[in-house]
């Protein structure tokens, strides 16, 4: 009776609440929580909601989250990111799901903060797709942010940043919710033209767009459960001000040599690859590697097949610890696309490039390209001895061919030495990358002709102090800033806040290559400990500061940095926003 009475009350009030905001969730939740990862065509399984979400007679406590803009309700143990056939018929026939923008999406990993995020807050769960784009549009169209919130009352909210788009002629898209499993298909509803929309007890509601027709950018709406169906309401009072943190200038001391451990060679196409029937050794030295031509013997005893499919990664645990410049590891992710990664992520990025090299997981790149061992060949993981291990890609195909294109091997040893050995490589249409990266935002060491420059050493030289933001400056949050690439023996740090950008060279003060880049209107002070210095900055909550611009610069007391013992960072311009 109470549910029926509530339904009648809401229906009677439709003209009044057409633009109301009933759901308890805010327009956009800035506490987006934990990053699950990013990449392309992936799904994160069994994510605990932290709440009980009621829908269509079932209460859900877990979800699966796809990088392609939807969630499955429940823990289904189904690795299906549902790319790329998008239709209402498929939507209603599949598992129970909620789509915020189900289409062919990809995370822009050039910014390491981007990815799929999940958070549980009192009474609601928050899922955010931060820094995503339509597949094929990274660098051509602006990235966008999507956010879905589920509440204990069974409400669902949808948020679309102003740049959200679906433009490719071969992409369609869906937004909505369905109980699936062969549910009755009510057909597509023009959501933006029908608010407020009462589904009259129908638990499925969705809109399907052809390319170029998506019309919910810079909009947020909510679904309120009513009488077994939904009341769809617009939320027109939600502000859309993009928060940004834009670096400018460079820090000091000046860059010399290659102070980082990274190196790579990028071959624009497979036929340019000139390392067939050769090998390289990565010998640990200092904070990097000595890279030399290899005399290591090929291990012919490979037998333990990993049975990787196309664009798949499998975790392998070693019987020893393996030290690298990125840390010490005893388990690797072995990718079908020719690399080892030091993380629990199961992403298998098939597209090599400098931005991915800089910003994705720490990896050893044996032959990073688009390989497909499901079509031809096999991958292997075998012990050579108690202190050495071999990973072998034997006669694997180049996607989408079914012919053998590459045979190569990566050997790792307990002393940290790596051997990369290539036999036949006949990749035709894809670029190839070889090298090592600690990932997660390292500097680009730039393309290097390995066969012409060996032997060489990485991890030598100096690098400028770097100020960066790990979160966006959203009103009411604490901005996560950090200083990295700190000079040796740094003891204290300052965060300088200014209302203006300036350019004041400081070399005349004994600070060679340093520049003051912001007006010194205020400052905060921190102790410098370890490899990075965290600099949290609490931001105001009032909307009067929306769009406010603030400039930042870091400085450190470091006796060995220069004659005066002070290093300065790049600048960082903040615009305070709502998402």
- Assigned token pair, 135: 């597949």
Q: How far apart are CA 169 and CA 212, in angstroms?
A: 8
Are 91 and 178 in contact by the 8 Å Cβ rule? The answer is yes
Give yes or no for a contact between 243 and 472, defined as CB atoms under 8 angstroms apart. Answer: yes
Tokens 């195909």 sit at which residue? 397
What's the rounded Cα separation, in Å, for the pair 14 and 158?
A: 20
Do residues 549 and 501 make contact, with C-beta atoms less than 8 angstroms apart? no
- In the chain, where are the structural domains located? 2-234, 244-254+464-575, 258-461
pLDDT at 247: 95
Q: In the predicted model, is pLDDT for residue 111 greater than 90?
A: no
Give the range among 221-235, 387-401, 479-493 with minimum mean pLDDT.
479-493
For the chain, the average pLDDT equals 91
Answer yes or no: is pLDDT of 217 > 90.
Answer: yes
pLDDT in tens, 528-545: 987 789 999 999 998 899
Report pLDDT for 167: 92
Phi-psi region of 136 (alpha: psi -120 to 50; beta: other; left: phi over 0): left
Q: Tell me, what's the pLDDT at 24?
A: 83
- pLDDT grade, residue 504 (50/70/90)? very high
What is the model's pLDDT at position 11?
37
Q: Which pLDDT band, with edges at 50, 70 and 90, does 85 fall under?
A: low
Which of 162, 163, 182, 186 minimizes the C-alpha distance to 174? 186
- Report the pLDDT averaged over residues 220-242: 95
| Across 129-141, average pLDDT | 91
Q: Which CATH number fits domain 244-254+464-575: 2.60.40.10, 3.10.450.50, 2.40.170.20, 2.60.40.2300?
A: 2.60.40.10
- The pLDDT tens digits of the residues spanning 233-267 come to 999 999 999 999 999 999 999 988 778 899 999 99
Residue 343: pLDDT above 90? no
pLDDT at 17 > cutoff 60 = no
Q: Is the pLDDT of residue 4 over 60?
A: no
Q: What is the pLDDT of residue 13?
A: 40
Mean pLDDT of 215-227: 96
d(CA 29, CA 579): 8
User: pLDDT at position 349, please?
Assistant: 80
What the block records as the tokens of 161 is: 């940043």
8 Å CB contact between 437 and 363: yes
pLDDT score at 152: 97
Distances (CA, A) of 549 to 255, 422, 568: 29, 52, 21
Average pLDDT on 6-22 reads: 43
Question: Residue 56: how many CB atoms within 10 A of its CB?
Answer: 17
Query: Which tens digit of pLDDT belongs to each residue from 265-294?
Result: 999 988 899 999 999 999 999 889 999 999
In this structure, the number of other CB atoms found within 10 A of the CB of residue 509 comes to: 14
The answer to whether residues 69 and 101 touch, using CB atoms and an 8 Å cutoff, is yes
Residue 520 burial (CB < 10 Å; 0-12/13-18/19+)?
A: middle
485 confidence band (pLDDT: 50, 70, 90): confident
What is Dmax (Cα atoms) for the chain? 82
Q: Residue 22: pLDDT band by 50, 70, 90 thresholds?
A: confident
Residues 6+ apart with CB under 8 A from 313: 333, 334, 335, 336, 341, 345, 346, 347, 348
Q: How far apart are the first and last CA of the chain?
A: 40
User: What is the average pLDDT across 303-315?
Assistant: 92
Rounded CA gap, 439 and 445, in Å? 12
The percent of residues above 90 in pLDDT, for the chain, comes to 76
Q: Exposed (0-12), middle (13-18) or buried (19+): which is 171, by Cβ within 10 Å?
A: buried
The pLDDT of residue 391 is 98
């Amino acid at each position: 009776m109470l549910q029926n009475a509530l339904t009648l009350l809401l229906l009677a009030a439709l003209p009044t609440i057409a633009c109301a905001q009933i759901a308890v969730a805010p327009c956009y939740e800035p506490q987006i929580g934990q990053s699950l990862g990013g990449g392309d065509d992936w799904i994160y399984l069994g994510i605990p909601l932290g709440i009980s979400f009621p829908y269509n007679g079932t209460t859900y406590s877990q979800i699966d989250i796809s990088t392609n803009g939807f969630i499955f309700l429940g823990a289904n143990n189904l690795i299906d990111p549902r790319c790329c056939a998008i239709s209402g018929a498929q939507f209603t026939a599949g598992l129970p799901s909620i789509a915020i923008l189900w289409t062919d999406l990809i995370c822009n990993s050039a910014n390491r903060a981007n990815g799929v995020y999940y958070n549980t807050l009192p009474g609601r769960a928050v899922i955010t797709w931060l820094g995503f784009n339509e597949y094929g549009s990274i660098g051509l169209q602006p990235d966008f942010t999507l956010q879905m919130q589920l509440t204990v009352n069974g409400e669902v909210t949808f948020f679309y940043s102003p740049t959200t788009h679906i433009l490719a002629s071969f992409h369609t898209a869906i937004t909505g919710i369905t109980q699936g499993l062969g549910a009755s298909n009510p057909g597509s509803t023009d959501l933006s033209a029908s608010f407020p929309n009462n589904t009259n007890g129908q638990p499925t509601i969705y809109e399907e767009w052809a390319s170029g027709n998506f019309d919910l950018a810079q909009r947020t709406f909510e679904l309120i459960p009513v009488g077994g169906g939904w009341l769809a309401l617009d939320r027109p009072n939600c502000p859309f001000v993009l928060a940004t943190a834009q670096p400018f200038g460079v820090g000091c001391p000046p860059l010399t040599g290659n102070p980082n451990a990274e190196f790579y060679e990028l071959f624009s196409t497979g036929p340019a690859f000139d390392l067939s029937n050769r090998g390289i050794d990565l010998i640990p030295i200092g904070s990097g590697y000595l890279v030399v031509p290899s005399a290591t013997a090929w291990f012919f005893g490979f037998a333990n097949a990993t049975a990787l499919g196309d664009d798949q990664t499998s975790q392998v645990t070693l019987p020893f610890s393996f030290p690298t410049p990125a840390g010490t590891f005893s388990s690797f992710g072995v990718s079908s696309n020719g690399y080892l990664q030091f993380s629990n992520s199961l992403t298998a990025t098939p597209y090599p490039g400098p931005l991915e090299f800089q910003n994705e997981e720490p990896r050893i790149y044996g032959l990073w390209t688009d390989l497909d061992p499901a079509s031809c060949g096999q991958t292997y993981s075998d012990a050579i001895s108690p202190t050495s291990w071999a990973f072998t890609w034997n006669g694997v195909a180049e996607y989408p061919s079914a012919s053998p294109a590459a045979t190569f091997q990566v050997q790792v040893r307990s002393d940290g030495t790596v051997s990369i050995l290539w036999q036949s490589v006949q990749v035709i249409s894809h670029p190839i990358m070889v090298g090592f990266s600690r990932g997660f935002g390292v500097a680009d060491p730039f393309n290097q002709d390995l066969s012409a420059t060996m032997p060489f050493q990485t991890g030598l030289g100096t690098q400028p102090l770097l100020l960066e933001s790990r979160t966006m400056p959203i009103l009411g949050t604490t901005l996560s800033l950090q200083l990295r690439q700190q000079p040796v023996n740094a003891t204290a740090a300052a965060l300088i806040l200014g209302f203006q950008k300036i350019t004041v060279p400081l070399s005349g003060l004994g600070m060679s290559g340093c520049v003051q880049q912001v007006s010194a209107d205020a400052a905060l002070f921190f102790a410098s400990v370890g490899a990075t210095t965290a600099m949290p900055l609490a931001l105001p909550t009032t909307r009067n500061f929306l769009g406010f611009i603030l400039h930042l610069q870091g400085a450190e007391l470091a006796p060995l940095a220069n004659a005066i013992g002070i290093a300065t960072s790049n600048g960082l311009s903040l615009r305070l926003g709502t998402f």
